[in-house]
Amino acid sequence: METKLNTETANHQAIRIMAIKTAEYDAKVKELAAANNTIKNLNATLKYAEEKAGQADK
């Protein structure tokens, strides 16, 4: 009986740890997606600025 309780307690702890790690992973994925969008937007802005600079040089 005690072994069963210890196993169940260990399982619950493992599930809680996995839930925490999953939430941390999901948060990091969201953060990286936001950073990727920022990079895409900055690249588009840079391309636009380069085109305008090229037109100004003409």
What digits encode the pLDDT tens for the residues 10-49? Answer: 999 999 999 999 999 999 999 999 999 999 999 999 999 9
Triad 41, 45, 48: Cα angle to 5°: 140
The pLDDT of residue 32 is 98
pTM over 0.75: no
**Predicted confidence (pLDDT) at residue 4 exceeds the cutoff of 80:** no
Distance from C-alpha of 14 to C-alpha of 5, rounded to nearest angstrom: 14
The pLDDT of residue 3 is 80
- Residue 34 tokens read as 């936001």
Q: Considering only CA atoms, which of 22, 27, 57, 28 is closest in space to residue 49?
A: 57
Distance from C-alpha of 30 to C-alpha of 36, rounded to nearest angstrom: 10
